[in-house]
Structure 1
Amino acid sequence: MATVNFKIEKDSMADPTQIYVRFKGKGFDCQTPIGILVSKKEWSQPKQKIKTTFDSDGFRNKINTQLIELKAEIIDQYNHDNHEGIKISTKWLKELINVFHNKPSSNDGDAKIFLTAFSDKFSKEAENKTNISTGKVLKKRTAQDYQNSSNKLKSFEAYNNKKAKIDSIDLIFHKELINYLRSVEFLGENTIGGIIDNLKAFLRDVELSGLKVNPIYKDKKFYSPSLKTQDIYFDEEEILKIMKHRFELDSYLDNARDWLIIGVWTGLRVSDLLSLTKKDFKNGFIDNRNFKTNIPVTIAIHPYVKLILEKRKGDLPRHISEQNLNNYIKDVAREVGFNEKVIGSKMMEIKDEHGKSRLDIHGKKIHRKISGSYHKYELVTTHICRRSFATNLYGEIDTLTIMKITGHQTEKQFLSYIKTTAKQHAQRLGEHWAKYYNEKSSLMTL
């Protein structure tokens, strides 16, 4: 079996030094520098990649991605040339590397043949595409999501040592990709579903451009995995309990609790919540521009929020990072007493059967959401703010008004966010009937 390995010459006097590739198989053993320099102290020979500990600009990760792509390119070209009877030699390897470095990533020829060449091209062009239904340019986040999916497809190719051709995408590819994303990447079902959705978008665009594609991607068997999430929220009684709990004045818990209360009664995303300033509060309203949708939002100030502002003499709680707020509100929930066990998903480190941390292809520890029974306070994150806001107001005021504040674009998106149970819906209906028929009691005689 042919193998591809990267290494550096440790005995070389030069530092930084060249990365070499060695391609070895039956009847050949080739080695040549690949034209990329690396500092000796930054190279990890066991992982055959550059360490990314201090990769502040993402440059080292880009090089590691190049190594993955080069490995896949060598194997793919070998499979083709060996079948054609072409001699595999150091000269062959050098020519392949030269072509690899000088070939544009969005090469139109490649994009007509290979899936990831097309998906990269599609993702790059998405930054300037217009949504047909809205007439607006696609959001930057959407283009990034396409690129992330394209990167996962490239990782899958590297794992298989084979580049996928556009016309070869079938149910076998679909099944193997899902298995890879589950067992190697350890991704959740909804994340995998998003990648499959984007794969379908790539294939639709392929078909629209007149290229040959297997129509099986339209079949229901080419499904996108999904899993109904069991996210928690705070009902109004629980919010009141948090509001009335006495923390040490101006402590980190007191500060985090106040941000939490403002969050559950504004429905703002945490990035927008923590960017609030005093000037956003005017005449009983909060005027804020939604960071994600860039849509101006006006929210009536809730009485609890007014109490917090009065307590702080008109000031907002101390500024805090998203990460710290995410951690501290768990402490708040534990102190208030939300210790009951509930079903939900918690972000946890993935370990093997020996308790050893599993690493991704970049050598980083893998963390994924794991479903199970946990203390409620363990599951509290900043997302609980918007979820509680939307759930508590749902059925009390019209859905469109809530959506204008939360920034949900469709009712389908909004309803998936609501966490009211079937029993709670029934209780609300019962309360509505009791109130209605009490008011109409004089008419209720037979």
Structure 2
Amino acid sequence: MFLENKKGNISVEDFRQELKVRLGEPEREAEETEEPEIQHIDFLDFIEQYYQERKGQPNAKAGTLKFIHKIKVHIQDYAKDRRRKIEFADLNDKFFSDLRDWLHSPPRLHSTNYVQKIFQYVKLFVRRAETRGLHNSRAYQDFKLPKTPITKIVLSFEQLEHLAQIDLSDNQRLEKVRDLFLIGSYTGLRFSDFTRIQPEHIQDHEGERLIHITTQKTEQSVIIPLHKTLDEVLKKYGYKSPSMSNQKMNDYLKELGQLAGFTKEIIVNDATGGIHTEKKVPMWEMLTTHVARRSFATNFYQKYPEQIDRIMKITGHTTEKMFRAYIVTDALNSAIDFGKAISKP
């Protein structure tokens, strides 16, 4: 060994290894550095991960979290029915078409607009996963599902006044529902906001009583004049909105609408199970908490069209195009004006 290595030009460690080889001992292989194992995440795993991340955010909205959870349940059930795991590579036109048909089919029979909302979130999940390097597929972008135009209704000022005059002293449940609906109809706020008005939201400025409130959904600060009818309703409750769940209020509004005599039949679009039809329903059947907000926008624009910018500041619509698409009056007025024009000799 001395001669073979240039007369002793060998390190101590190499000498030891060489000696072990010559004595018949196996040479110890250098320890391999193990690569950290990359955890595989499929589509359902990512939805759960995204849900937990959103849930941990300080401004997490309960409604959004609830819908994300519903989407996960839908896709879990779909995957179970199809007996497959859903990988990101599977999210193509074929997948979306099959999921759409599954959501429309019995016993689910979800409407076109509900399925379209699900797909909006599904595409959001896929985009988020893409930005995190979990996949590089763009096939999901090709699938389009247009919304079905909804039939919109509002209650006019006259109908709101009719509601306000109904004696409900022997039915506190419907009285509370009526009063909440009036609060929504004279503030333009969403249900999540018009049900949490407190005395501290009422402020006086230059002789005008105003509601100052920050909306929950958009975190936008809005200032609303305290209309006479609104003032009378809020005063009954010490300027604190009565409490009630959205679901219960929607149920009770149907009962209130029947009592108020809102029985006029309306033709509405229906897309249950993805099949587009028209049907007649009584007006009371279409009453929901959101009708209050749309009534505010429509009524005040119709009465004060020159104040459209100020009305939009309250409703939160950022463009006139969005606002006009939201209200009901434009289509109705256009039809009436056109009818008057063509009826002239």
TM-score of the pair, normalised by structure 2: 0.69
1:128 Cα deviation after fit: 7.4
Confirm whether residue 200 of structure 1 aligns to residue 123 of structure 2. yes
Structure 2 counterparts to residues 119-158 of structure 1, below 5 A = 119-126=47-54, 142=64, 145-158=67-80
Shift of 1:175: 1.2
- Contact preservation (8 Å) 2:54, 2:60: yes
Change (3 A) 1:211 1:251: closer
Within a 5 Å distance, the mapping from 1:39-438 to structure 2 comes to 109-111=39-41, 114-126=42-54, 142=64, 145-184=67-106, 185-210=108-133, 212-219=135-142, 222-243=143-164, 245-249=165-169, 251-252=171-172, 253-283=174-204, 284-308=209-233, 312=236, 319-344=243-268, 372-394=279-301, 396-408=305-317, 414-420=323-329, 422-425=331-334
Post-superposition Cα deviations, 1:282-329, rounded to whole Å, max 9, x if no partner, equal 33112223233333332101122234456x496667655544433333
Check whether the contact 1:290–1:296 (CA below 8 A) recurs between aligned residues.
yes
Counterpart of 1:160, as a letter, is R
The corresponding residue for 1:67 is none
Query: Structure 1 residues 239, 160: CA separation in 2 closer, same or farther (over 3 Å shift)?
Result: same
Q: In the comparison of the two structures, how many residue pairs are matched?
A: 292
1:220-254: per-residue Cα shift (whole Å, max 9, x none)? xx1124211113211223223323x3415464344
Q: What is the DSSP-based 3-state SS (H/G/I as helix, E as strand, rest coil) of the residue aligned with 1:237? A: helix
Offset at 1:212?
A: 4.9
* C-alpha distance in 2 between matches for 1:387 and 1:418: 6
Equivalent-residue separation in structure 2 for 1:108 and 1:128 (angstroms):
24
* Partner Cα distance (1:163, 1:382) in 2: 39
Whole-Å separation in 2 of the counterparts to 1:125 and 1:230 = 36
| Aligned 8 A contact 1:298 1:405 in 2 | yes
Are the structure 2 counterparts of residues 125 and 327 from structure 1 closer, same or farther at C-alpha, using a change threshold of 3 Å? closer
Task: Give the stretch that moved more between structures: 201-210 or 159-168.
Answer: 201-210
Closer, same or farther: CA 148–413 of 1 in aligned 2, 3 Å: farther
Distance 1:139 1:327 in 2: 23
> In structure 2, do the counterparts of structure 1 residues 128 and 325 end up closer, same or farther at CA, with 3 Å as the change threshold?
closer
Give the partner amino acid of 2:218.
Answer: T
For 1:156 and 1:289, the matched residues in 2 are separated by 39
Uncovered stretches (5+) of structure 2, i.e. residues with no partner = 1-36, 341-345
Native 8 Å contact 1:194 1:224 kept in 2: no
**Identity level (%):** 27
The one-letter amino acid of 1:424's match is: N
The answer to whether the Cα contact below 8 Å between 1:239 and 1:261 also exists between their aligned partners in 2 is yes
Contact 1:181 1:192 in 2 (8 A): yes
Q: Deviations over 1:108-146 (max 9, x none)?
A: 5322xx2222333344445679xxxxxx98867556544
TM-score by length of 1: 0.55
Q: Report the Cα distance in structure 2 between the residues aligned to 1:237 and 1:399, rounded to whole angstroms.
A: 21
* Larger Rg, first or second structure (1 or 2): 2
Deviation at 1:158, TM superposition (A): 1.1
Distance in structure 2 (CA, Å) of the matches to 1:315 and 1:175: 51
CA spacing shift, 1:429–1:390, aligned 2, 3 Å: farther
Q: Which moved more, 1:190-199 or 1:287-296?
A: 287-296
Q: Where in structure 1 are there 5+ consecutive unaligned residues?
A: 1-106, 130-135, 351-369, 432-446
Q: RMSD value over aligned CA atoms?
A: 3.8
* Partner secondary structure for residue 266 of structure 2: strand
Letter in 2 for 1:291: Q
Is the CA contact 1:110–1:118 (under 8 Å) kept in the aligned structure 2? no
Q: Which moved more, 1:407-416 or 1:300-309?
A: 407-416
Q: Provide the rounded CA distance (Å) in 2 between the counterparts of 1:205 and 1:124.
A: 14
